[in-house]
């Protein structure tokens, strides 16, 4: 089983280190492997530290933290032997998250879960126009599967609306999340959390399964994805298409990123589309999900929270 990697990107001051510290402290039923540039930034309760040598910090809650030093690959190799469910990589403020994500795509033992880019609500718009780092912050934003605005408490309601509007201007479908969603929703490893605390998960997220026995048009499906609500944070399942009816396709939607891959021939199994969606309960109502189901000529069936393995 590949360990999913969540890349935590964003410019200096966006709050990446604060987030990492928070997640390390709060994590109780998920074992995180966290890669950071600088151990000095890790600021957690000393009672949580089980063991600390030069390059690795082990916590009592099962989380592990490693310094990247000069070699991200070697740090990943160290983690691949540890007993962890999810990796978080904290990128430097000047890094392109997409480049870091490539490690996730290609390093043995790992897969890319998602790219989360933190955005400082107070400064992002000004920064995006800065003559030195403007292009960088926009590229960081464009690489995001999920956007996590920070310091929202420092701006007014009106400014929040402006920020939303601005994000929609720069991104085709900004998928906004909060810090707690990093452990819940952005990676397949969240299943352990859901299993551990299904009520809490259900309080924040809804899931359903859409099934269709009629084949779908691939292009129409991609277009549907591009326009379906950004409140749908994950989608995963097998697709029956009429462009390629003998072969099932694997769809994975992570925030605003969609991948559709040819999987295996249906063989003896009757072909049908079977798609699980997870969305923010407070951001979408049932009618919108029904509309999506209609679009795909699919039927909603009782929700199951497990993703198809």
Partner 1 sequence: MKLFADGAFFSQLAQVGEPGYIDGHIGEWLTTPEALEASARVYWNAGFKIHVHCTGDLGVELTLDILEKLQWERPRFRHGFTFEHFGFCTPEQVQRIAALGAHVSANVYYLHELSHIYAEQGIGFERASQMARLGTCVREGVRTTVHSDFTMAPALPLNSAWVAANRINCEGQVMCAEERLSIEQALRTITTDAAHVLGLEHDIGSIRAGKKADFTILDDSPFNAGAEHLNQLNVLGTVFEGRVFMVG
Among 94, 161, 226, 269, binds partner 1 (CB under 8 A): 94
Shortest distance (Å) from residue 192 CB to partner 1 = 36
149 DSSP assignment: E
Quick check: 259 binds partner 1 (CB under 8 A)? no
Tell me how many residues contact partner 1 (CB under 8 A): 12
Quick check: 170 binds partner 1 (CB under 8 A)? no
In degrees rounded to 5, what are phi and psi of residue 115?
Answer: -110, 120
Quick check: 69 binds partner 1 (CB under 8 A)? no
Place of tokens 């969305």: 279
Token pair of 213 as six digits: 């026995």
Between 13 and 215, CB nearer to partner 1: 13
Between 99 and 160, CB nearer to partner 1: 99
Q: What is the dihedral of CA 284, 288, 289, 292, to 10 degrees?
A: -140
Between 134 and 265, CB nearer to partner 1: 134
Quick check: 70 binds partner 1 (CB under 8 A)? no
Measure the CA–CA gap between 235 and 257, rounded to whole angstroms: 10
Measure the CA–CA gap between 261 and 264, rounded to whole angstroms: 10
Quick check: 93 binds partner 1 (CB under 8 A)? yes
Quick check: 126 binds partner 1 (CB under 8 A)? no
Distance from CA of residue 147 to its chain's centroid? 9
Shortest distance (Å) from residue 24 CB to partner 1 = 24
Quick check: 135 binds partner 1 (CB under 8 A)? yes
For 79, the 3-state DSSP assignment is helix
Quick check: 215 binds partner 1 (CB under 8 A)? no
Residues 6+ apart with CB under 8 A from 105: 111, 112
Among 139, 164, 227, 264, binds partner 1 (CB under 8 A): 139
For 15, the 3-state DSSP assignment is coil
Between 96 and 125, CB nearer to partner 1: 96
Quick check: 136 binds partner 1 (CB under 8 A)? yes
Among 46, 132, 158, 267, binds partner 1 (CB under 8 A): 132
Q: What is the dihedral of CA 26, 27, 28, 30, to 10 degrees?
A: 170
Shortest distance (Å) from residue 36 CB to partner 1 = 16
Helices (H), the chain: 16-26, 72-80, 97-106, 124-127, 134-142, 157-170, 181-184, 190-196, 198-204, 218-227, 286-295
Shortest distance (Å) from residue 12 CB to partner 1 = 4
Between 135 and 160, CB nearer to partner 1: 135
Among 133, 179, 202, 250, binds partner 1 (CB under 8 A): 133
Quick check: 240 binds partner 1 (CB under 8 A)? no
Nearest to 150 by CA among 161, 162, 160: 160
Among 8, 10, 11, 120, binds partner 1 (CB under 8 A): 11
Quick check: 249 binds partner 1 (CB under 8 A)? no
Among 22, 52, 96, 257, binds partner 1 (CB under 8 A): 96
Q: What is the dihedral of CA 11, 13, 16, 18, to 10 degrees?
A: 180
Strand partners, 257: 254
Shortest distance (Å) from residue 112 CB to partner 1 = 21
Binding site for partner 1 (CB under 8 A): 11-13, 93-94, 96, 131-133, 135-136, 139
């Amino acid at each position: 089983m590949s360990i999913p990697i969540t890349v935590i990107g964003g410019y200096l001051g966006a709050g990446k280190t604060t987030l990492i510290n928070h997640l390390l402290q709060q994590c109780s039923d998920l074992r995180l492997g966290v890669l950071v540039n600088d151990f000095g930034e890790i600021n957690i309760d000393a009672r949580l530290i089980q063991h600390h040598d030069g390059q690795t910090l082990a916590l009592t809650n099962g989380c592990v933290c490693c310094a990247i030093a000069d070699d991200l690959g070697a740090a990943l190799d160290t983690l691949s032997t540890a007993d962890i469910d999810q990796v978080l990589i904290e990128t430097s403020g000047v890094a392109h998250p997409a480049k870091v994500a490539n490690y996730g795509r290609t390093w043995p033992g790992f897969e890319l879960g998602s790219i989360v880019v933190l955005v400082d609500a107070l400064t992002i718009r000004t920064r995006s126009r800065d003559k030195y780092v403007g292009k960088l912050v926009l590229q960081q934003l464009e690489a995001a599967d999920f956007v996590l605005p920070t310091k929202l408490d420092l701006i007014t309601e009106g400014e929040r609306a402006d920020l939303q509007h601005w994000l929609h201007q720069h991104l085709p479908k900004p998928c906004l999340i909060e810090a707690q969603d990093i452990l819940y929703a952005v990676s397949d490893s969240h299943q352990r959390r859901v299993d551990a605390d299904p009520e809490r998960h259900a309080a924040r997220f809804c899931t359903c399964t859409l099934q269709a026995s009629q084949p779908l048009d691939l292009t129409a499906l991609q277009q549907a994805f591009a326009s379906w609500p950004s409140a749908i944070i994950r989608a995963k399942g097998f697709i029956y298409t009429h462009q390629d009816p003998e072969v099932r396709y694997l769809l994975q939607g992570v925030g605003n990123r969609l991948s559709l891959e040819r999987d295996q021939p249906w063989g003896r199994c009757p072909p049908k589309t079977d798609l699980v969606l997870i969305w923010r309960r407070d951001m979408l109502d049932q009618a919108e999900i029904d509309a999506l189901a209609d679009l795909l000529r699919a039927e909603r069936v009782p929700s199951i929270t497990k993703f198809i393995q």
